[in-house]
Amino acid sequence: MIWTDFIKGVDLSLQRLPTGPEYFYLADGPAAVAAARGMMADWPEEDRATGERFLKSFDREIARGQVQIFGRQVEHTAGYGEVGKRIFAWWQGSGWMS
């Protein structure tokens, strides 16, 4: 699945989705995004600003009613360099992402 969006509350837990290291699934997007913002609090200003821009893409999906978020990491990190990758790594290590 390339450049696929789910909107308006599709229950992704009922879907058969691709698996593999390139994909991510956030069962509770709002909580994962809020936790990532808290985690970034001690980051240098420039990294925190980039991280905030990265998280705003998730905010848009959540605002459209999609709280479970699925996609390919490479599509979501494009343009955010190592900061996007660090957030995904933190979500993975903290149990937010499957």
CA gap 55, 15 in Å, rounded: 24
Find the mean pLDDT for residues 20-29. Answer: 91
CA gap 20, 83 in Å, rounded: 21
Is residue 78, in this structure, part of any structural domain at all?
yes
Range of the domain at 60: 20-94
pLDDT at position 17 is 80
Query: Average pLDDT over the chain, rounded to whole?
Result: 88
Q: In degrees rounded to 5, what are phi and psi of residue 23?
A: -100, 155
CA gap 9, 78 in Å, rounded: 25
Is residue 8, in this structure, part of any structural domain at all?
no
Is residue 1, in this structure, part of any structural domain at all?
no
Is residue 48, in this structure, part of any structural domain at all?
yes
Q: What is the pTM of this model?
A: 0.86
Tally of domains in the chain: 1
Is residue 77, in this structure, part of any structural domain at all?
yes
